[in-house]
Structure 1
């Protein structure tokens, strides 16, 4: 499904048709937003009663409830509950991460996920 939708989007972009879609991080904003793409122009496509600042605030609040926040400088932060939970498994888990550090953190989190899955799957007494 994703490949098909992506192909349709690319076909529309190549032919210059107007595209309305939801994209993650358009125009450098945190979260996902509806956008209108026409030619080389990309603009938010929010409902008339939704100012951009409110859309950003809502996305930021939702992200924080999911355990992450994005600063104005692109730094990704982990609110206290998420940081504390992660530090129980990774004592040096950072409170914030710069974009350039995300690949390393991703690798560490995938390793942790695999370790936790193996521990969960192991029979009692064999952990």
Structure 2
């Protein structure tokens, strides 16, 4: 009779939590850690740890850095110009030039409800 090798189905050790990736050790000052902990407390997630929070904040910073700090693209400036031209055609001629400019600027900027929702850019009022 042959001896059978029995493989234990239960694997030992820690389970893989984040998959394969590069481990980066970062030294942070107490003020920065306090800011991160305050941000974690403001979130509505119970199992949000510091590493998860830092990864999330880095992702937010990278997407916000490219979208918020980038110059206006040629496409967006062209669309703003075309919209401005259409608004010039529809302006109320009885209003003063300052009032016309204010109305045009407000319409091109968009409603505050939509501006306040944007996470990737600071609100400019």
TM norm structure 1: 0.25
The structure richer in strand per residue is 1
The structure richer in helix per residue is 2
Task: Please say which structure displays the higher CA radius of gyration.
Answer: 2
Q: Which has the higher contact order (CA 8 A, sep 6+)?
A: 2
TM norm structure 2: 0.26
